[in-house]
Structure formats: C-alpha cells, structure tokens
C-alpha cells in the first residue's frame, strides 16, 4: 500500500452550476493529493449537486459551466465510468447479492483470483474485519458496512475520492473511529478528497480547507 502519486490533484476551474437560469453555486478550487476539501452549507445549497457534477452524473435539470482536471487531464466531458473518481455515501450501498469479499472484488481490477482473494483478506484484516469474507452485507453492523464500503472504494484504485456525509449514520464513538480510518487510508494513498458534511467535528478532523456554501436566492 505504498503507491504514492506525488502530483495527484483535483482541480475545479471556474465552475458555475445553474438551475433554471438561477446560479446555484460557483467554485474555483484545487485539491492536492492527501488533502481534504470540506464543503459545508445548509440543506439545498447544492452540495450533492456539486458532487454529481464531479462524477459526471449531473441531472439534466441543471446546467454547468467550468472545467474539471484530474491529475492535469481535463475530464469535464469524460463519462462517469471512465473518471476514476470514487464515491462514498452515508449509506454503504453494498450489493446485497454479493458477499463481503464479492463486494470488494467487484471494485478491484481484473486479475488472478487467488491474488485478489489474498488482497481482500489483507485489506479486511487491516480495518479489523478479518475473516468476514463470506458474510452477507446485511448481516454486518453499520460500522462494519461503512468499512467494507471504504475498502471497496480504495481497492478500486481511484484517483480521487468524494465523500457525501459519509459518517452521518454512525453513532459518535463509531463515527470517530471510522473517520480516523478513512482519513488515514486516504492520506496513505495520497488521494485528493472532497467531503460534504453537516458536522463541525468532521470538518475539524479533516484538517483541511473548509468551504461554506450559501443558500441560493429563491424566487418567490
């Protein structure tokens, strides 16, 4: 786990997202590998919409203007499945038709099945889930599911990671542990991260730049 990309970066250039001609948000940011940009703001301020744009899944109700660079490659027009941007939501969204190992294997690149299995076991024990390979996702606790979801994203070898309120469904003890684990792993991989959260303590733990989105003007 020592793959270090020195020049990893995610760059948002002159972004404006509009909904029905009214601007929702404007942004101009560069996130370096290992850094976390925290986005906060009231409900409806466009946080999830921003993440949707970053993943190339902006609903057609919105129009966006601006450029997105990943490691100096312009990916503004690249399809979502070719962006190499990992996603982590508040729900683990594990596939219920696959086992824990299957969920992680789903995300890994193709390869020899033995090597893959060894990597999965290693990764599971790294996050304290040793031996849970063949369990069904539903039989795991919320915290365990969150960790499997994290592994799933990390082992897909993304070049950047987006977190949408990833810890909001965990209780405070678990929240702290999981958060620590996530940030630790992400720093190890030197990935640029954008995190959306409502929680100050998340922002403090992220130890990076914090951006506050404002509620857009409403037409009455």
Partner 1 sequence: MSHKLTSNSLNNRPLKDETKLLDTLFSTVVKFSPKLLIAILILPVLGGLLGVLLPAFGWLPALDRTQFGLQGFQQLVQTPGIAQMIGLSFFSSIVSGLLAFVITLLLLANYFDSPWLARIQRLLGPILVIPHAAAAIAIAFLITPSGMIARLLSPWLTGWQSPTDWLLPHDPYGISIILGLTLKELPFLLLMTLGAIAQPELNIKLQAQYRVALSLGYYPITAFFKAVLPNIYPLMRLPMLAILAYASASVEMPLILGPNTPPTLAVAIMNWFHDVDLSLRIKASSGAILQLFITLSVLFTWWLLEKLTQAISSKSLSNGQRTYGDLFWSKIINIFTLLLIGFIALALIGMVFWSFAGYWQFPLALPEQWVIMHWQSALLQVQTPILNSLSIGLVATSIALILTLLTLEFEKQNGAQLSRFSSVIIYLPLMIPSIAFLFGLVWLQEAVHSKATFINVALAHLLFVLPYVFLSLATSYRLLDSRYAQVAASLGASPIKIFLQLSLPQLLMPIMMASALGLAISFSQYLPTLLVGGGRLNTVTTEAVSLANGASRRTSAVYALIQMLLPAIAFSLIWLISMRKKRQKAQVKLNNKTASYITKVNR
Ligand X SMILES: Nc1ncnc2c1ncn2[C@@H]1O[C@H](COP(=O)(O)OP(=O)(O)OP(=O)(O)O)[C@@H](O)[C@H]1O
Contact residues for ligand X, defined by CB under 6 A:
19, 41, 43-49, 59, 61
Give the 3-state secondary structure of residue 142: helix
198-85-108-1 Cα dihedral, nearest 10 degrees? -80
Query: 26 forms bridges with which residues in the sheet?
Result: 16
Residues 194 and 117: their CA atoms lie apart, in Å, by: 30
**Among positions 23, 66, 102, 142, the unique one binding partner 1 when judged by CB under 8 A:** 102
In the list 3, 20, 61, 81, the residue contacting partner 1 (rule: CB under 8 A) is 81
Nearest CB to Mg ion, comparing residues 46 and 208: 46
Alpha-carbon gap, residue 45 to 27, rounded angstroms: 13
Q: Which does 111 bind (CB under 5 to 8 A by kind): ligand X, partner 1, Mg ion, none?
A: partner 1
Query: According to CB under 8 A, which one of 1, 4, 57, 73 is a site residue for partner 1?
Result: 57
Q: Which is nearer to ligand X, 49 or 144 (CB)?
A: 49
**Binding of partner 1 at residue 86 (CB under 8 A)?**
yes
DSSP letters for 6-64: TT-EEEEEEEEEEETTEEEEEEEEEEETT-EEEEE--TTSSHHHHHHHHHT---TTEEE
48 binds Mg ion (CB under 5 A): yes
Residues that bind partner 1 (CB under 8 A): 55, 57, 60, 80-87, 89, 91, 93, 95-98, 101-103, 105-111, 113, 116, 152-153, 156
């Amino acid at each position: 786990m020592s793959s270090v990309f020195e020049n990893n970066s995610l760059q948002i250039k002159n972004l404006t997202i509009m909904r029905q001609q009214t601007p929702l948000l404007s942004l101009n940011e560069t996130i370096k590998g290992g850094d976390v940009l925290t986005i906060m703001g009231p409900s409806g301020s466009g946080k999830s919409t921003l993440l949707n744009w970053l993943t190339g899944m902006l609903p057609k109700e919105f129009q966006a203007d601006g450029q997105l660079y990943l490691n100096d490659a312009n990916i503004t027009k690249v399809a979502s499945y070719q962006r190499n941007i990992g996603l982590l939501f508040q729900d683990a969204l594990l596939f219920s038709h696959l086992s824990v190992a299957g969920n992680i294997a789903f995300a890994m690149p193709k390869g020899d099945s033995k090597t893959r299995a060894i990597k999965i076991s290693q990764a599971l024990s790294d996050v304290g889930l040793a031996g849970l390979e063949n369990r069904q996702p539903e039989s795991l606790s919320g915290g365990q599911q969150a960790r499997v979801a994290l592994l799933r994203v990390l082992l897909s070898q993304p070049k950047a990671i987006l977190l949408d309120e990833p810890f909001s469904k965990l209780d405070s003890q678990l929240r702290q542990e999981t958060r620590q684990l996530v940030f630790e792993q992400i720093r190890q991989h030197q990935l640029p991260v954008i995190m959306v959260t409502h929680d100050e303590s998340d922002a403090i733990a992220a130890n990076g730049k914090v951006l506050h989105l404002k509620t857009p003007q409403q037409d009455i």
